[in-house]
Amino acid sequence: MNDSKTRKIIHIDMDAFYAAIEQRDNPELRGKAIAVGGSGGRGVVMTASYEARQYGVRSAMPSVTASRKCPHLIFVKSNREKYKYASDQIRKIFYEYTDLVEPLSLDEAYLDVTENKTGEKYASVIATEIRARIYEVTGLTASAGVSYNKFLAKIASDINKPNGQTIIRPDQADAFLESLPIEKFHGIGKVTAGKMRDMGITDGKSLKSVDLNALVSRFGKAGRHYYHVVRGIDAREVKPDRIRKSVGAEHTFLKDIDSLEGLKDELGKVVERLLERLGKVDRKGYTLTLKLKTSDFQILSRSYTGETALDNRGILTETSDILLDNADIRGRSYRLIGLQISNFRGDTEDDDSEQPRFDFT
């Protein structure tokens, strides 16, 4: 594995992607607080313009909450085809520089430009050029992070957002990571950050003071990853055109649940989360799997494979309800419920032969 500090990795992330496209296409929306997503009772904000973010409007926030925080917020319906088109345009630009492009979602990708098609030596020059090209072709702004591994490049792209870029050189990495608050480490979510704070870990410096065994015994395999990344070590390669096998969302309850009604409520929330995640990957899946974990950690799963893609709220709500109804949950209590979409078109040879089916395992 190439673990040296000589690679040149760029992480590119479009600014307020869906919202920026809507503002580009409708001058009346420019400079205004807008949110892309449904404004109705069950609507969720997919993303918000930077003007709206000043009021605390964020992705995945219920639209009613967003309107409360920002009463003049303008809701715009999402238009996936438009976003996909812009995404294809920016990907074409990436390939002008390197074939080592790993898209993470419609608006985000890692590029390995160690060897690149332009012969340019400085990755930061390439990043500036790519951002200028993106603006020229799409009229949209992007931010970039430049470093010698994926972990640092990804964090860097967020630092000077929007329309900015940040380079973290090998000799700057240690100091940067030591002063980084634990919440900013990519891959450390709210829950893990809470656990770390309980252990007295608040930033890179304190994370570094915990030895490998302690991190592994507390966080499992992820502990090993944290141990390395805080030292600036991340040997993951940029994998061109990563194929995702599944997208899932799950929820562990604060208190075990033993009623069907209780589980249905939680299931509704998991459907919303799954929809958000599906929104970020550009694949259509045909199999939905419901997972339940009992209070004594037994796993129960039910799945359904459809003839058409399971890609919208209506079909996901209906199918997951049927799966739950069929799970025969009586007599036990549960600590977790989850959903997963898999069987993306193109993953298997015999996709066309798939018939609708429920699988009870």
- Residues making contact with Mg ion (CB under 5 A): 13-14, 17, 107
SS3 of 272, please? helix
Kindly list the catalytic residues: 108
What's the min distance (Å) between Cβ of 61 and ligand TTP? 9
Q: Are 186 and 154 in contact (CB under 8 A)?
A: yes
* DSSP H helical ranges for 164-293: 170-179, 190-198, 204-208, 212-219, 221-229, 260-280
- Strands of the sheet containing 34-37, edge to edge, are 45-48, 34-37, 74-76
The pair of three-digit structure tokens given for residue 55, joined into one six-digit string: 């009021």
| CB nearer ligand TTP, residue 46 or residue 329 | 46
16 binds ligand TTP (CB under 6 A): yes
* Chain residue at closest Cβ approach to Mg ion: 13
319 binds ligand TTP (CB under 6 A): no
User: Using CB under 6 A, which of the segments 168-176, 274-282, 300-308, 346-354 binds ligand TTP?
Assistant: 274-282
Q: How far, in Å, CA of 42 to CA of 222, rounded?
A: 34
The pair of three-digit structure tokens given for residue 246, joined into one six-digit string: 């599944």
Instruction: Find which of ligand TTP, Mg ion, none residue 60 binds, CB within 5 to 8 Å per kind.
Output: ligand TTP
Cβ count near 4 (within 10 Å): 10
Q: What single letter denotes the amino acid at residue 234?
A: D
What's the min distance (Å) between Cβ of 19 and ligand TTP? 6
For ligand TTP, the binding residue among 23, 59, 116, 340 (CB under 6 A) is 59
Instruction: Find which of Mg ion, ligand TTP, none residue 59 binds, CB within 5 to 8 Å per kind.
Output: ligand TTP
For ligand TTP, the binding residue among 24, 29, 55, 60 (CB under 6 A) is 60
* Angstrom distances, CA of residue 217 to CA of 91, 208, 227, 252: 40, 16, 12, 21
DSSP state of 148: S
Cβ count near 254 (within 10 Å): 7
For ligand TTP, the binding residue among 13, 203, 234, 266 (CB under 6 A) is 13
What's the min distance (Å) between Cβ of 141 and Mg ion? 10
Instruction: Find which of ligand TTP, Mg ion, none residue 167 binds, CB within 5 to 8 Å per kind.
Output: none
Q: Which of residues 125-144 bind ligand TTP (CB under 6 A)?
A: none
User: Using CB under 6 A, which of the segments 121-129, 184-192, 194-202, 275-283 binds ligand TTP?
Assistant: 275-283
